[in-house]
Structure 1
Amino acid sequence: MKKVFFIGINGIGMSGLAKIMAKSGYCVSGSDQTKKDVSIELESLGVKIHYKHDAKNIEGIDLVVRSSAIKEGNPEYKYATENGIEVIKRGELLARLFNSKSGIAVAGTHGKTTTSSMLGAVMLPLDPSIVVGGILPEINSNACCGTGEFLIAEADESDNSFLYLLPEYSIITNIEADHLENHGSFENIKKSFIQFYEQTKKLTLLNIDCLESDNILGSEDKILTYSIEKKAGIYADNIKIIDGKSVYDVILDGKLLGEFRLSVPGSHNISNSLGVIYLAYTLGVSLEEIKVRLEKFKGAKRRYDILLDGDTRIIDDYAHHPTEIRATLEGAKKIETKKITAIFQPHRYSRVKFLYEEFKGCFDLADEVILLPVYSAGEEDIYGITLEKLAADIYTSGDTKILTTVEEILEEIKGEDRTYIFMGAGTISQMAYEVVEKLEVR
């Protein structure tokens, strides 16, 4: 039995692959610095986890998988390379699994976790394997090992690892500037997406509401366009909000496919659903099944995740890119009946620096904004970002408060009749849960 070791096994992408490998009969072990809920789930599958990085952990291992966060100085990585043990990146292992099946990949600067999760939920009748970047309630996990022919995966453009994938089908939700610390320029990002499209064998679903889609448009028999703003190969029409749900007609090739309902808020999620509807319908899920599953879909964990629903409403959301922030607030304004306070923890100094112009005014749909210190994700602050300037620029509709602790946030909330949306990709989710826990015992 081949022994596979994951360095940084608690990561959302790493843990998903570890689960699939364990369920596929491999002897799986790994390491990370702390024990988390995902560690407990992995251990229940027979995965041995070491809570300290040590060269001894690698002895007798056949294959080492490392996350992009693991540096060359890591003792396990160093031992593996010095002793001839094969070491691959997470994206390479995903590709080995993905390319051996009928792969469906969802790519985009944002929206890929929600879209791949939505696709996985809707296509469950076909028993696919699923690897996504969030916890999908329908499978209560970020991964499952199905018996069907399809493998649905979230394709990560941040380090170009999505170029290892050779999809049968793909969805491209949008193309925008992000992770410029890795890509160097927006032009390089666009070139990567063009290559990703060219590697897709049968069909790419392309969101033409994205201004950069013209860079991808190619052979008509390899692309189906989708839109919520104009007529496309498949598009949404007659969009309305009824009882907090999006209700809309879907038109495919000029013909009405039916009326659909979506419980997750925001026009961006209507857009996300179009590629999902087309692929699920084309690959064998009935329209009625699609409609039922879409309406029941509540989103992946940390995508408008309602943690507390009372006079004070607490929502946990992963939005950290300016476009995601605007989309989340736009959706919230359509369904929330209370005033909205956005509590934002910026993610990475480099992202704030490179996207500073886009961050300006991105919180203006909120009624109030609270700004937390930047979550560095291991970066050094070499960009000269000041919270005071950022606070003044991200919200032009009022003054932004700068807070630093859960206690200060609790003092602000005071049980008010208001919706608080915790936004960011760092530790802010843990802060949201801590706030809810303390509010519930007041």
Structure 2
Amino acid sequence: MSPAPCDVPPAPESLGNVHLVGVGGAGMSTVAALLAARGVPVSGSDARESPVLETLRRAGVQTQVGHEPAHVLHADTVVVSSAIRADNPELRAARDGGLRVLHRSEALATLMRGRRAVAVAGAHGKTTTSAMTAVLLGEVGLEPSYAIGGTVLRASGATDAVDAGGDAVGGARHGTGEVFVAEADESDGSFLAYRPTVAVVTNVEPDHLDHYGSAEAFEAAFDRFTERVEPDG
């Protein structure tokens, strides 16, 4: 599933009960933790038990092992990544039941709504650059939120928690400031779901040609990404 660019994503609180299929993945677990930190009722499933699932449970996310249609019974919105196949039983049940289905990037875009979003893209160095940006903004007192595909360590070496009193999900933090730092994944074109205030491109080197088909199409996607910067960015 590929996301459709959206200029005005819905507010996360409008999504109702949210269920994430494949919630144990680095990108999906950050979205789940951040939604829960915003007070959204969140559940998720993954193919196998993992420490990530246990951490998410402590952060208020209801998690199940295995993929069953019953897991989306009480959901209003179902979130999937590009790794979830169309024949996944939970995704099929969501579509058959007429539920709203969002790509992970679309769900992340709802969390970025109303924030000064810094989206970091590039063939290499996204995670490192995103983490450095988040740490620097935190060190100067801006209290950023972030969604990054790797564990972020502060200068002290400690891992930020999702929110005050919450358990740590390494790449997620719900901050009190207006800045939101997001690692923007270009592998499937999903970074085009964002309308950032600041777009950072670390480099552009042909990659993911199985999705784009040519180096020219890959480079053109980055052009569209930078064109989606907000007018005041």
Q: Same fold (TM over 0.5)?
A: yes
Equivalent residue, structure 2, for 1:77: 91
Higher strand share: 1
Q: Deviations over 1:323-363 (max 9, x none)?
A: xxxxxxxxxxxxxxxxxxxxxxxxxxxxxxxxxxxxxxxxx
TM-score (ref. length: structure 2): 0.84
Pairing 1:105–2:134 present: no
Q: How does 1:52-71 map to 2 (within 5 A)?
A: 52-71=66-85
Q: How does 1:245-394 map to 2 (within 5 A)?
A: none
Residue identity opposite 1:133 in structure 2 = G
Q: How far apart are the structure 2 equivalents of 1:176 and 1:161?
A: 17
Q: How far apart are the structure 1 equivalents of 2:104 and 2:220?
A: 22
Equivalent residue, structure 1, for 2:227: 198
| Cα shift at 1:202 | 5.8
Pairing 1:147–2:176 present: yes
Q: How does 1:114-129 map to 2 (within 5 A)?
A: 114-124=128-138, 125-129=141-145
Equivalent of 1:37 in 30, 36, 51: 51
Paired positions, count? 204
Q: How far apart are the structure 2 equivalents of 1:123 and 1:39?
A: 29
Equivalent residue, structure 2, for 1:429: none
Over the residues paired in the alignment, what is the CA RMSD in angstroms? 1.4
Is the 1:99–1:167 Cα contact (8 Å) retained in structure 2? no
Is the 1:99–1:165 Cα contact (8 Å) retained in structure 2? no
Q: How does 1:5-20 map to 2 (within 5 A)?
A: 5-20=19-34
The percent of aligned pairs where both chains have the same amino acid is 40
Bigger Rg over Cα: 1
Residue identity opposite 1:173 in structure 2 = T
Pairing 1:162–2:191 present: yes
SS at match of 1:136: coil
Structure 2 unmatched runs, 5+: 1-12, 155-159, 161-167
| Cα shift at 1:9 | 0.1
Is the 2:49–2:65 Cα contact (8 Å) retained in structure 1? yes
Pairing 1:26–2:40 present: yes
Q: How far apart are the structure 2 equivalents of 1:148 and 1:39?
A: 27
Residue identity opposite 1:25 in structure 2 = G
Q: How does 1:230-241 map to 2 (within 5 A)?
A: none
Q: How far apart are the structure 2 equivalents of 1:170 and 1:78?
A: 35
| Cα shift at 1:137 | 2.0
Q: How far apart are the structure 1 equivalents of 2:209 and 2:121?
A: 17
Q: How far apart are the structure 1 equivalents of 2:193 and 2:151?
A: 24
Q: How far apart are the structure 1 equivalents of 2:18 and 2:25?
A: 16
Equivalent residue, structure 2, for 1:336: none
SS at match of 2:52: helix
Residue identity opposite 1:164 in structure 2 = A
Q: How far apart are the structure 2 equivalents of 1:101 and 1:57?
A: 32
Moved over 4 A (4+): none
Equivalent residue, structure 1, for 2:201: 172
SS at match of 1:30: strand
| Cα shift at 1:201 | 2.7
Q: How far apart are the structure 1 equivalents of 2:210 and 2:67?
A: 27
Equivalent residue, structure 1, for 2:102: 88
Q: How far apart are the structure 1 equivalents of 2:219 and 2:148?
A: 23
Q: How far apart are the structure 1 equivalents of 2:215 and 2:231?
A: 27
Indicate the structure whose relative CO is greater, using CA pairs within 8 Å and at least 6 residues apart: 2
